[in-house]
Structure 1
Amino acid sequence: MNIGFISLGCPKNTIDTEIMIAILKKKGYRIVNEAARADMVIINTCGFINDAKEEAIETIIEMGSLKEEGIIKYIIATGCLAQRYGQELLDEMPELDAVVGISSFLRIDEVVKMLTSGEKKRIIEVMPPTEFFIEKGDRFLTTPPGTAYLKIAEGCNNRCSYCAIPLIRGNLRSKSLKDIEEEARILVEDKGVKELVIIAQDTAAYGVDIYGESRLPQVIDILASFKGLEWIRLMYLHPRHIDEKIIDKIGNTEKVIPYLDIPVQHFATPILKRMNRQHDGDYLKEIIDRLRAAKPGLVLRTTVMVGFPGEKEDDFQKLYDFIGEVEFDWLGCFAFNPEEDTAAYTMPEQVPDEVKKKRVDEIMRLQKKITRKKNITRVNKKEKILVTSRLDKNLYAGRGYFQAPEVDGVTLIKSEKSLVQGEFTEVILKGVRGYDMIGVTLD
């Protein structure tokens, strides 16, 4: 049987998809890249915000059309949307043959077998999120050569008032240091990974549930010991959990590249308080200053949210001015969407949609200028670029340390010599095109 995967949402979902692919390949199923060639399509959904939910629903409907035409026979929904809505999703979407939550996807082979054998016609497999944790599992990497994500924890103990993630993925559950080391060894030594992108819902909080304090510095020490690993990239660090030990370890570990993803969400203290971020605006400035002092040339990515209930023009202006002052290299801006069962869902002083859109546009216009200015400063500099794909005869795509996979720009590389995907090459950056850099290889 041919099985196709559609993985939506964040890198955490990417890892779950890679594990499911490995499970099914071991059972003899053939994995295909195109839905039109598949007998079954598994859609790993995201359910974090409304746009993600809509994308998941539209994808299910699109695959349902192929099913009606007789091109595919089965459709399974997995991931966050499946976990959150379970039976409701199965009832409302007749296109689906099975709904498998993130608490149950390790049984994906059993679900596939039950469907294809005719044992069951429709299946629901969802457990409470607190009842599962993936200690370890083989993965079939879907990322470009040389790069892999490494998830060090599941769930989240933060209770940001707008966020449904703890409802979907449960409380923080950290992997053991031993399991992290074992998974990293397989990725680096067996699969040739040069860059590990460290992720969790809150990477800085790793280990708090086990040890009572963050053990991210110990994770960094373990990863830095692998000879074949050149880049350690840290993503999703909640600013409240970035302490002096983490700052020192980042600053003193060469393999931790000078790039951090720190979602700040807002700067105005009244809004941060309503968001339950558990710090004020001044704290953000202090943390950023300390990190920049510890890691010269630090590249920062962040995420901000506008239109949160009670956000007045003055609050928005403070956020706008903060972004202009700090000058993040990369920034994503989202309009607040009320998520059911969260504290912010019923908060008073909801902001009109047209005001939200206007504020998103203002932030992104500002950020586009900042990012362009930052990229222009890199022109005529020599950089080590990880080659990720070949685009044409003498044209490749890659990323510098200042570009995270998927969310940032890329570096377009002109080269007369053949380059190897998954390996590094020295490049002189010659120009900027949109969010991307243009470079040429050294002779």
Structure 2
Amino acid sequence: MAEGKILPYLDIPLQHASPRILKLMKRPGSVDRQLACIKQWREICPELTLRSTFIVGFPGETEEDFQMLLDFLKEARLDRVGCFKYSPVEGADANALPDQVPEEVKEERWNRFMQLQQQISAERLQEKVGREILVIIDEVDEEGAIGRSMADAPEIDGAVYLNGETNVKPGDILRVKVEHADEYDLWGSRV
């Protein structure tokens, strides 16, 4: 990956950071080991984009468990994150677990999680302002072009907006200077 032969993007379904909840989910994993891996990967490949998905409100999740998840997010500083509120799935063992989390608590935790991750994502994207990146164009209209960088999976991650760039077509790859960032997206101009 660090030598340019593989896209520097890893999607790792971490799901949670509380050892107790991970055990209830029947998922292996040690938070310390995960954080050590993240650190090592970023040292080897600084341009690496890390994405993961998490579940809040899993049966038995306490405020302490949830706080462990928020603490993990702060330390891991993942680039892209998806978060889902637990909901029963037909045939899943978790349906029978005690201490089901009320819907309003799931919603409140999801909002807190997303608010924290939006802040982290905005900070990570802000680091790209002033840098040049490669962008593949997905669509073009009268206002400009929309594309993706190597850090943006189609339909789930952010986009790169090129206002006024209409003389391109889908599939073109452009070198773009990043001029602005928000929580999810970048804006730039062709170099």
TM-score (norm 1): 0.42
Give the secondary-structure state (helix, strand or coil) at the position aligned to 2:8.
strand
Pairwise mapping of residues 350-365 of structure 1 onto structure 2 (< 5 A)? 350-365=100-115
Could you report, residue by residue, the CA deviation over 1:214-264 in whole angstroms, capped at 9, with x for unpaired residues?
xxxxxxxxxxxxxxxxxxxxxxxxxxxxxxxxxxxx44x513122211111
Residue 287 of structure 1, CA deviation: 2.4
CA RMSD of aligned residues (A): 1.6
Q: Say which of 407, 413, 424 aligns to 2:162.
A: 413
Report percent identity of matched pairs: 36
Q: Which amino acid aligns with 2:169?
A: V
Unmatched segments (≥5 aa) in structure 2: none
1:343 paired residue number: 93
Q: Is 1:272–1:281's contact at 8 Å kept on the other side of the alignment? A: no
Q: How does 1:322-333 map to 2 (within 5 A)?
A: 322-333=72-83
Paired residue type of 2:19: T
Which residue in 1 is equivalent to 2:146?
397
Any runs of at least 4 consecutive aligned residues in structure 1 with deviations exceeding 6 A, and if so which? none
In 1, Cα distance between equivalents of 2:52 and 2:165: 36
1:381 aligns with 2:131: yes
Structure 1 Cα separation of the partners of residues 163 and 110 of structure 2: 35
Which sections of structure 1, spanning at least 5 residues, go unmatched? Answer: 1-249
For 1:434 and 1:293, locate their aligned partners in 2 and report how far apart those are by CA, in whole Å: 24
Q: Specify the alignment match of 1:286 in structure 2.
A: 36
The aligned residue for residue 5 of structure 2 is 255
By how many angstroms is 1:403 displaced?
A: 1.2
Q: Assess, with a 3 A threshold, how the Cα gap between structure 1 residues 336 and 417 changes in structure 2: closer, same or farther.
A: closer
Cα distance in 2 for partners of 1:433, 1:374 equals 10
Residue-pair matches, total: 191
TM-score by length of 2: 0.93
Conservation of the 8 A alpha-carbon contact between 2:60 and 2:100? yes
Q: 1:439 aligns with which of 182, 188, 191?
A: 188
1:257–1:276 Cα change, 3 Å:
same
CA contact (8 A) 1:381 1:429 kept: yes
Once the 2 structures are TM-superposed, how far is the Cα of residue 309 of structure 1 from its aligned partner?
Answer: 1.1
Contact 2:59 2:101 in 1 (8 A): yes
User: Could you tell me which residue of structure 1 aligns to residue 46 of structure 2?
Assistant: 296
In structure 1, distance between residues paired with 2:158 and 2:82? 13
SS of 1:257's equivalent in the other structure is coil
**C-alpha distance in 2 between matches for 1:365 and 1:412:** 23
| Larger relative contact order, structure 1 or 2 (CA cutoff 8 Å, min sep 6) | 2
In the superposition, relative to structure 1, how do residues 263 and 335 fare at CA in structure 2: closer, same or farther (>3 Å)?
same
